Amino acid sequence: MDAWWQCEVPYPFVPQEILNATDSVRASLPNRYCDPKVAADLFEEVIDEFLLCDDLGLNVLAVEHHAGINSLLGANPVLVGILARQTRQVRILSLGTLISLRKDPVRVAEEYATADVISRGRLEIGFVKSGGSEMASNNANPVNNIERYWEAIDLIKKALSHHDGPFSWEGKHFTHRHVNIWPRPWQQPHPRMWSATGDPETAAEVGRRGLVHVLVLRGPDGTKRAYAAHRKARAEAGLPKVTTDNFAYAAFVYVGDTDEEGLRVGSKLLWFLHTSLKSAPQYSKFLPGNAPPEAAPQVYRTAPRPGAGTGAMTAQQNAARLTSISAEQAMAQGILFAGNPDSVYKQVMEFYDKVGGFGHLSLVGRSGFMTHAESEKSIRLFSKEVLPRLREIKPVTAE
Amino acid sequence: MSTGHIVGGIDLEVLRRGAGRPVLVLHGMQPVDPRAPFLEMLGRHAEIIAPSHPGFGRSARPKDFETVYDLVHFYLEFLDSLPHEKLTLMGFSFGGWLAAELAVKCRHRLDGLVLVDAFGIKVSDRETPDILDVFNTSPQEVERRSWHDPETWTPDLDSLSDEELVIRARSWEALCLYGWNPYMYNPQLKRWLRRITVPTLVVWGASDRIVKPAYGREYSALISGSRFELIERAGHHPEIEQAAAFVDTVVKFLTR
User: How many Å lie between the alpha carbon of B162 and the closest alpha carbon of chain A?
Assistant: 5
Residue of A148, A282, A283, A310 to mutate for B, most B C-beta atoms under 10 A: A282
CB contact under 8 A, B139 and A282: yes
| B6 touches A at CB < 8 Å | no
Rounded distance, CA A339 to CA A271, Å? 18
Evaluated on CA atoms A257, A263, A268, A269, the torsion sign reads: positive
Q: At residue A309, does pLDDT exceed 50?
A: no
B202, B223 Cβ separation under 8 angstroms: yes
What is the band of A314 on the pLDDT scale with cuts at 50, 70, 90?
low
Q: What's the pLDDT at B242?
A: 98
CB contact under 8 A, A294 and B66: no
pLDDT, average across residues A183-195? 98
Residues A48-105: pLDDT tens digits?
999 999 999 999 999 999 999 999 999 999 999 999 999 999 999 999 999 999 999 9
Residues A235-276: pLDDT tens digits?
999 999 999 999 999 999 999 999 999 999 999 999 999 999
C-alpha of B142 from chain center: 17
Residues B202-230: pLDDT tens digits?
999 999 999 999 999 999 999 999 999 99
ipTM, two decimals:
0.94
CB contact under 8 A, B165 and A136: no
Burial of A259 (0-12, 13-18, 19+ CB in 10 A): middle
Nearest alpha-carbon partner for B10 in B104, B96, B69, B75: B75
Evaluated on CA atoms A332, A338, A339, A344, the torsion sign reads: positive
Percentage of chain A with pLDDT > 90? 93
pLDDT, average across residues B32-47? 98
CB contact under 8 A, A302 and B170: no
A277, A270 Cβ separation under 8 angstroms: no
pLDDT, average across residues B163-189? 98
| B85 touches A at CB < 8 Å | no
CB contact under 8 A, A288 and B175: yes
Specify the pTM: 0.95
| B62 touches A at CB < 8 Å | no
Q: What's the pLDDT at A310?
A: 47
Task: Please count the residues of chain B.
Answer: 256
Burial of A232 (0-12, 13-18, 19+ CB in 10 A): middle
A286: chain B residues, CB-CB within 8 Å: 139, 172
